[in-house]
Amino acid sequence: MHVFRLRGNFETLDIYSAALFELGARGLEEKPGEVWAYFPERIELPFPGEWQELPDTDWLEAYKRDLQPVRAGPFVVLAPWHTWEGPEKPIVIEPGMAFGTGHHETTRMALETLAERVEPGMRVLDLGTGSGILAIGAALLGAEALGIDIDPAVIPQAIENARRNQVKVQFQVGSLDEAYDPLAETAPQAPPAQPAPTPLVQGPFDLVVANLYAELHTYFAQKYRELFGICGTLILTGILAEREGIVKSALEAAGFGLLARRQEGEWVCLTYAAR
Ligand SMILES: C[S@@+](CC[C@H](N)C(=O)[O-])C[C@H]1O[C@@H](n2cnc3c(N)ncnc32)[C@H](O)[C@@H]1O
């Protein structure tokens, strides 16, 4: 097996992941300070990084074998082959290409915070749903959940995960407007003047959770407010502590009041009240 090692993490290298898969990567794995992209053979890659040969073991099997159940608030996140005896509510997620197995600090914090805030019957939006884990968690707590993601590849995985957990969750491809990536070199300096003609997501929601990244939260700040009626709760994570300031300024300007903050490692999760 050949591995291409890139410096960074899933969050900072998110912009490369689709291209890596298109170029033949069989999987991505986050290591301390690096992301490893596994390829069946060496190819020319237009990214900064270096190749390394690995003994020909089945890395995916090894990865799956090492995967442990994760506790998060009232939940325990399990892979389909795990067994669990305990008071926690299981969420079964197939570890695949979609982000969201519960092992990342941001997913865990979002799931725990969500569980503290969700009440049965609430309308919940999970923006950037990935594996669907947060929407599924909300549905298991009795909410009516919608999960959306700009990556069409994750939606079938999220649907399958909801089926595994025997909950009804709606999933759709999309975002709050056209796919806008503030990190891309070609990104405009200001939000596009013309919003998408038809809103992809119809509010109001009682709770919105988004595990994205600081620049995107900043860009979406006003749009987040439009998702709520008179009030509601917004849970934001995927924020590196060093980027927290820009999110706070934008959210405050958009009329949100900070309710709670938590941090694990370098990652922050902010909970806001829409007001
Ligand atoms: C860090 S993952 C979060 C997955 C899952 N919600 C969790 O907490 O583990 C971010 C997800 O957001 C999606 N995403 C990135 N930019 C987006 C955007 N502008 N609108 C909607 N989804 C987006 C990515 O495709 C990815 O699946």
Q: What is the pLDDT of residues 170-187, one digit of tens each?
A: 999 999 975 444 444 444
The DSSP symbol for 241 reads G
- Do 226 and 157 fall within a single domain? yes
| Centroid of ligand 1 to alpha carbon of 183 (angstroms) | 14
Instruction: Supply the residue whose CA is at minimum distance from atom 13 of ligand 1.
Output: 128
- Do 39 and 112 fall within a single domain? no
**Residue 216 CB–ligand 1 contact under 6 Å:** yes
The total number of structural domains that make up the chain: 2
- The answer for residues whose C-beta is within 8 angstroms of residue 143's C-beta and 6 or more apart is 118, 119, 120, 121, 122, 123, 124, 206, 207
Q: What is the pLDDT of residues 254-269, one digit of tens each?
A: 999 999 999 999 999 9
| Centroid of ligand 1 to alpha carbon of 113 (angstroms) | 17
Distance separating alpha carbons of residues 151 and 174, to the nearest angstrom: 8
- Do 43 and 134 fall within a single domain? no
> Is 231 inside any structural domain?
yes
Whole-model pTM: value is: 0.78
What average pLDDT does the structure give for the chain? 89
Longest CA–CA span in the chain (Å) reads: 58
- The answer for residues whose C-beta is within 8 angstroms of residue 100's C-beta and 6 or more apart is 93, 107, 129, 130, 131, 132, 133, 134, 211
**Residue 211 CB–ligand 1 contact under 6 Å:** yes
Distance separating alpha carbons of residues 162 and 55, to the nearest angstrom: 36
Cα–Cα–Cα angle for 254, 122, 132, rounded to 5 degrees: 85
- Do 178 and 236 fall within a single domain? yes
SS3 216: helix
Q: What is the pLDDT of residues 79-133, one digit of tens each?
A: 999 999 999 999 999 987 789 999 899 999 999 999 999 999 999 999 999 999 9
Instruction: Supply the residue whose CA is at minimum distance from atom 9 of ligand 1.
Output: 100
- Do 52 and 140 fall within a single domain? no
Instruction: Supply the residue whose CA is at minimum distance from atom 24 of ligand 1.
Output: 128
Range of the domain at 35: 2-63
**Residue 244 CB–ligand 1 contact under 6 Å:** no
- Do 37 and 135 fall within a single domain? no
**Residue 151 CB–ligand 1 contact under 6 Å:** yes
The two beta strands, 123-127 and 205-211, are: parallel
